[in-house]
């Protein structure tokens, strides 16, 4: 297990209220992290495997001064720094250029823009185009992330971006059935695939602090509806969090064996009668959304069988 990135969801307030938002962010959401405590946590990641801190939301640019303070601090501690945004602030080319040049000057390493049919109900796509243009001028690496449902048409948008920026890094993700998306979108509209394709935990080396302060062992948005949190950033620093992850027998199985053992042991809880899923994380959220301590004896037996008396709590 090696974490490379600390993901920080600064707050869940957003100027948009996208139907596909897997965190249910909106202008009314008010959970947010304390900057001074966050700095302590970031500092505690020094001399560990963490190389990058990524700030996201909600919309992190709604608190631009705090965002800049965190970027400066993160960079001063020797980490790469990334921000994820819907680019609402880039409403004209000059404004986009001013902000990107400022962020580049204080050490931001890369930026991700979210744009798709759902974001465009709230954010003018020209803002994202302005922001990308500024990033090209100031040589700031960009990723554009799009979210899709089944039968979603993204071709025109991709063609438009491609025409201006042929080397642009565009990621297309399936919309996750979590948060507002789970409540507002009918299941048949998600991109589903058979259970057999969905049994590996894709934890992706990211440890995440949620706006409620809970620390989670991955960044899959379904995880935030589970009881898999490993503590609270008010009480834990990064090395403590890692110790708790290492000693957690459920996470040990998830990382090393994926979801397959759990699906075999507890098929009804894991699948809820379904045979197709958007992602492994959906099965994970079924399994761990409620108190799962009753699973621990089974898990320990499995580990003992494999490793003869390995000691995990
Ligand atoms: S998907 Fe992104 S832009 Fe849309 S409401 Fe959620 S955080 Fe805001
Ligand atoms: S399967 Fe569970 S632990 Fe693994 S990335 Fe998904 S939500 Fe996280």
Dihedral over Cα of 61, 63, 64, 70: its sign: negative
For each of the chain's 313 residues, which pLDDT tens digit applies? 689 999 999 999 999 999 999 999 999 999 999 999 999 999 999 999 999 999 999 999 999 999 999 999 999 999 999 999 999 999 999 999 999 999 999 999 999 999 999 999 999 999 999 999 999 999 999 999 999 999 888 999 999 999 999 999 999 999 999 999 999 999 999 999 999 888 999 888 999 999 999 999 999 889 999 999 999 999 999 999 999 999 999 999 999 999 999 999 999 999 999 999 999 999 999 999 999 999 999 998 998 888 765 555 4
Among 15, 17, 25, say which to mutate for ligand 1: greatest number of ligand atoms within 8 Å of CB: 25
Q: Are 41 and 237 in contact (CB under 8 A)?
A: yes
Ligand nearest to the CA of 27: 1
**Ligand 2 centre distance from Cα of residue 32 (Å):** 23
Q: Which residues pair with 82 in a beta bridge?
A: 54, 110
Residue of the CA atom closest to atom 4 of ligand 1? 18
Q: How far apart are CA 13 and CA 27, in angstroms?
A: 5
Residues with CB under 6 A from ligand 1: 14, 16-18, 21, 23, 25, 57-59, 86, 114, 119
pLDDT (0 to 100) of residue 127: 97
Among 7, 12, 14, say which to mutate for ligand 1: greatest number of ligand atoms within 8 Å of CB: 14
| CA atoms within a 13 Å half-sphere pointing along the CA-CB vector of 199 | 16
pLDDT (0 to 100) of residue 164: 92
Surface-to-core class of residue 232, CB atoms within 10 Å of its CB (0-12 exposed, 13-18 middle, 19+ buried): middle
**Ligand 1 centre distance from Cα of residue 56 (Å):** 10
CA 238 to chain CA centroid, Å, is: 18
pLDDT (0 to 100) of residue 308: 63
**Ligand 1 centre distance from Cα of residue 34 (Å):** 21
In SS3 terms, 184-231 reads as HCCHHHCCCEEHHHCCCCCCCCEEEECCCCEEECCCCHHHHHCCCCCE
CATH for 5-191 is: 3.20.20.70
Confirm or reject: Cβ of 280 under 6 Å from ligand 2: yes
Q: Are 85 and 114 in contact (CB under 8 A)?
A: yes
Tally: H helices and E strands in the chain:
12, 11
For the whole model, what pTM was predicted?
A: 0.95
**Ligand 2 nearest atom to the CA of residue 280, by list position:** 1
Q: Residue ranges of the domains in the chain?
A: 5-191
């Amino acid at each position: 297990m090696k974490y490379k990135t600390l993901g920080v969801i600064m707050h869940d307030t957003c100027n948009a209220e996208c139907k596909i938002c897997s965190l249910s962010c909106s202008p009314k959401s008010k959970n947010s992290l304390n900057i001074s405590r966050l700095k302590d946590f970031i500092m505690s990641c020094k001399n560990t495997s963490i190389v990058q801190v990524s700030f996201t939301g909600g919309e992190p640019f709604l608190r631009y001064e705090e965002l800049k303070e965190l970027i400066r601090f993160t960079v001063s501690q020797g980490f790469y720094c990334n921000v994820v945004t819907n680019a609402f602030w880039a409403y004209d080319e000059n404004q986009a250029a001013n902000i990107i040049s400022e962020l580049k000057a204080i050490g931001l390493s890369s930026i991700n823009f979210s744009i798709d049919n759902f974001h465009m109900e709230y954010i003018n796509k020209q803002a994202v185009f302005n922001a990308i243009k500024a990033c090209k001028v100031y040589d700031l690496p960009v990723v554009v992330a799009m979210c899709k449902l089944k039968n979603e048409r993204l071709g025109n948008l991709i063609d438009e971006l491609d025409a201006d920026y042929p080397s642009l890094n565009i990621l297309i993700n399936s919309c996750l059935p979590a948060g507002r998306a789970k409540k507002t979108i009918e299941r048949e509209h998600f991109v589903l695939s058979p259970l057999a394709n969905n049994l590996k935990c894709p934890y992706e080396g990211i440890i995440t602090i949620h706006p409620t302060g809970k620390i989670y062992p991955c960044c899959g948005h379904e995880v935030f509806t589970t009881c898999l949190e490993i503590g609270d950033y008010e009480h834990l620093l990064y090395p403590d969090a890692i110790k708790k992850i290492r000693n957690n027998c459920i996470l040990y199985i998830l990382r090393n064996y994926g979801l397959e053992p759990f699906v075999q042991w507890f098929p009804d809880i894991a699948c809820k009668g379904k045979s197709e899923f958007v992602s492994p994380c959906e099965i994970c959220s079924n399994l761990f959304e409620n108190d799962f301590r009753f699973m621990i004896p089974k898990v320990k037996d499995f580990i003992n069988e494999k490793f003869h008396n390995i000691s995990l709590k």
